[in-house]
Amino acid sequence: MPLTQKPLREQTIVVTGASSGIGLATARMAAERGARVVLVARNGAALDTIRDEIVGAGGQALAVAADVGVREEVEAVAAHAITAFGGFDTWVNNAGLTIYGRLWEVSDADHERLLKTNLWGTVFGSLVAVDHLRSRGGALINVGSLGSDLAFSLQGMYCASKHAIKGFTDALRMDLLEAGAPISVTLVKPASIDTPLPQHARNYTDSEPRLPPPVYPPEEVANAILHAAVHPLRDIYVGGGAKALASLKEFAPGAYDLLAPAVTGFQKRNEAPRDPAGSLHAFKADGQTRGDHPGYVMRNSTYTRLSLHPASATAVVAGLAAAALLVGAGARGRNGKR
């Protein structure tokens, strides 16, 4: 039987990486829709400001500073949520970092820090969430990436971490299904999203990093995450560009590999690096959902919105097909053909 979840306004939602980007957009949107929100990130001061903003607007929010790469700190997040709100219904593992540079250029310490946040943060968050949700039900939502399905140059360990998150999420889903646990598990795979991720990155290159197009707004990912909190889906691509590239990699991997020079070029601006250290080891400025992408940012993703409502998508396709048949029949009639 398909799992069903509470309406969003009746939920408590934990969001990691809530101090900027997708996490912040998700927390704000959830609060606007009536959910109680637990904000999690390393930057406690930024979280306090965001909490006050949400509460000032009439919402309910709790700020908990934590490093998701430390299990004890993640367990403390769950404990705070239980004390403040009696528990939680959805846990969103979103915290993530990236590094720009050739794999052989990046230090072991930097690789380790990235994996601690991206992979182990997701693992610890998932296992702590499952411990709580196994008896009461709920949703676990892990934010992967287009990099969960394919790799791209300059961000090799980031892609490795997102590949690992996909494998872990798929295996955990199977374990929960076998155990009969009432927990939905969703992997969200965004394309390039206009967040401060490039500005927060550790940068080994000689250029300021940028996102390869097409680029989508963080609110599009937030909307997909919150949809999955109520209407469980297994996987969600955010951005038709993500789905198209994943399909190319699947059916023509060699052809995709040949795109490496172009992919590298798309990830560099024509300017010197601003802050090569980034926020990998120590958080810096937070509180922004958007980055400063120099190119065009899509308003939304029609592909993603249709994928969230497959019945509507089927109806749209059927309607277009029927219209095409009618047009074709009219043309044949005008030409005196049957």
pLDDT exceeds cutoff 80 at 334: no
Spatial separation of the C-alpha atoms in residues 223 and 299, rounded to whole Å: 13
Strand spans (E) along the chain:
12-16, 36-41, 60-65, 90-93, 99-100, 138-143, 183-190, 192-193, 202-203, 215-216, 235-238
Q: Are residues 254 and 334 in the same domain?
A: no
In a domain, 2, yes or no: no
pLDDT (tens digit, 9 = 90+) per residue, 255-296? Answer: 888 888 998 999 999 999 999 999 999 998 899 999 999 999
Handedness of CA 103, 105, 108, 113 (dihedral sign): negative
Catalytic residue from among 158, 237, 256, 303? 158
Range of the domain at 249: 8-300
Q: Are residues 138 and 267 in the same domain?
A: yes
158 flagged as catalytic: yes
pLDDT exceeds cutoff 70 at 330: no
Q: Are residues 91 and 179 in the same domain?
A: yes
Token reading at 129? 């969430």
Q: Are residues 188 and 337 in the same domain?
A: no
Which CATH number goes with the domain that contains 203? 3.40.50.720
Q: Are residues 318 and 229 in the same domain?
A: no
> What pLDDT score was predicted for residue 319?
45
Q: Are residues 153 and 289 in the same domain?
A: yes
Average pLDDT, rounded, for the chain: 92
In a domain, 1, yes or no: no
In a domain, 3, yes or no: no
Q: Are residues 162 and 240 in the same domain?
A: yes
Q: Are residues 287 and 327 in the same domain?
A: no
Q: What is the pTM of this model?
A: 0.90
Angle between the N-to-C axes of helices 71-85 and 121-136, in degrees from 0 to 180, rounded to the nearest 10: 40
In a domain, 129, yes or no: yes
Q: Are residues 208 and 322 in the same domain?
A: no
In a domain, 125, yes or no: yes
Higher pLDDT, 280 or 245: 280
Please count the structural domains in the chain: 2
- Lowest model confidence (mean pLDDT) among 233-242, 287-296, 326-335: 326-335
pLDDT (tens digit, 9 = 90+) per residue, 157-191? Answer: 999 999 999 999 999 999 999 999 999 999 999 99
Q: Are residues 285 and 323 in the same domain?
A: no
> What pLDDT score was predicted for residue 333?
55
pLDDT exceeds cutoff 90 at 83: yes
Q: Are residues 250 and 320 in the same domain?
A: no
Q: Are residues 240 and 332 in the same domain?
A: no
